[in-house]
Amino acid sequence: MSLTYDPDTGLAPLEFAVTKNLAAKSPAERAELLAKPAFGTTFTDHMVHICWSLEHGWHRPSVLPYGKLSLDPAAAVLHYGQEIFEGIKAYRHADGSIHTFRPDQNGRRLQRSARRLALPELPVEHFIQSLREIIAVDGEWVPSGDDQSLYLRPFMFAREAFLGVRPAHKVAYYVIASPVGAYFKGGAKPVSIWLSEEYSRAGKGGTGAAKTGGNYAASLLPQAEAYEEGCDQVVFLDQDRNVEELGGMNVVFVYKDGTIVTPQSDSILEGITRDSLLQLAIDRGHKVVGRAISIDEWRQGVASGDIVEVFACGTAAVVAPIGELKGRDFIDEQPLGSLALSLREELTDIQYGRREDRHGWMLRLDA
């Protein structure tokens, strides 16, 4: 790779030292694994790694055989949870080429998460390069079936062995990759949602807007409660009983006049899927409003017929219509419309190269 500096950023591409995995899966083994990918259980042959230290900044970029990490038991991440991650997919188009969706947005969100968790900010150009590097060695792992993709999981954590409570001076960044199919069994069928009234996911001034493990750890007990109640997912409220989001997806409400409302607050993750679906809705002439929406407005809106559709969205599942909201003493059937699934189709058509990418969202990774 030539070391030409990017005129906009002054950054040279990193020079990754590549160590090939000598025990890489054979084409036959890989084909078997790709035949029915489940979410997040199978991983490709390689991973990307970049070191950061206070002294040297980002250094030693490498591509390594996928394998176990060796960590000091005093590594700060194991004690204080200083870590962040991203989730983004690589899609195979009909001509065999490999593309990803709005990686600049994930790169910027990783930077915002890093700021909140007092971790170093990886330049967006290097974030995108790290995705190219994993595709360069593991591109064969991008599946080509319906709704299939290679899920890329960049993550960063405090590696320094130090038990004092302060931002770590040594940090590791990795990218691993996992072939995936549809997230929910049954594809885009309506999901049931458990309303968590006892637990919250985030608080004012907290880390809700960052993609950090602690937020997900906080969601596990209420998510387990949701399963016990026979629901697929949990929805969280803030201290004013406004709707925040699900454990891993944003929520969107469609009103009968065509207006689309979605919660806006500092304590929820700004989803890239949501932003993109809302842009497609704006293109179709819908009015889109980001504002607080209380659980009472949701329930009353459904009861009165003002709300005609509710759906959840995120990279993993893309769009999931919400068919039922269940609380301690109620079950509200949710109205099902056609907007969620038609936006889902338009978005996935763009992602899989079946429709014009009029917003310039796609980036080819294998060329």
Query: With respect to ligand PLP, which residue has the nearer C-beta, 229 or 275?
Result: 275
d(CA 358, CA 277): 13
Q: Please say which residue, 181 or 314, places its beta carbon nearer to ligand PLP.
A: 314
Closest to 125 (Cα-Cα) out of 47, 7, 2, 13: 13
Cβ atoms of residues 73 and 137 within 8 Å? no
Name residue 215's amino acid. Answer: N
The three-state secondary structure class of 119 is coil
**Residue from 137, 272, 302, 350 binding ligand PLP (CB under 6 A):** 272
The structure tokens listed for 115 are 């700021």
Can you tell me which of 13, 107, 214, 271 binds ligand PLP, judged by CB under 6 A? Answer: 271
> Phi/psi class of residue 130: alpha, beta or left (left: φ > 0; alpha: ψ in -120 to 50)?
alpha
Q: Where in 298-317 is the site for ligand PLP (CB under 6 A)?
A: 314-316
CB of 273 to ligand PLP, least distance (A): 3
Nearest by Cα to 63 from 119, 137, 9: 137
Closer to ligand PLP by Cβ: residue 315 or 334:
315
Q: Which is nearer to ligand PLP, 62 or 111 (CB)?
A: 111
Q: Which stretch binds ligand PLP (CB under 6 A): 33-41, 189-197, 232-240, 264-272?
A: 264-272
CB of 317 to ligand PLP, least distance (A): 8
Backbone phi and psi for residue 33, each to the nearest 5 degrees, phi listed first: -70, -35
281 binds ligand PLP (CB under 6 A): no
Site track 65-104 with ligand PLP (rule: CB under 6 A), x = hit: ----------------------x-----------------
Q: How far is the CB of 207 from ligand PLP (least distance, A)?
A: 11
Give the residue, chosen from 37, 61, 103, 248, that forms a contact with ligand PLP under the rule CB under 6 A.
248
For residue 293, give the nearest of 260, 320, 269 by alpha carbon: 260
| Min separation Cβ 109 and ligand PLP, Å | 7
Check residue 209 for interaction with ligand PLP (CB under 6 A): no
Q: Is 321 in the site for ligand PLP (CB under 6 A)?
A: no
Core vs surface per residue 70-107: b (16+ CB within 10 A) or e: eeeeebbbbebbbbbbbbbbbbbbeeeebbbbbbebbb
Q: Which of residues 127-146 bind ligand PLP (CB under 6 A)?
A: none
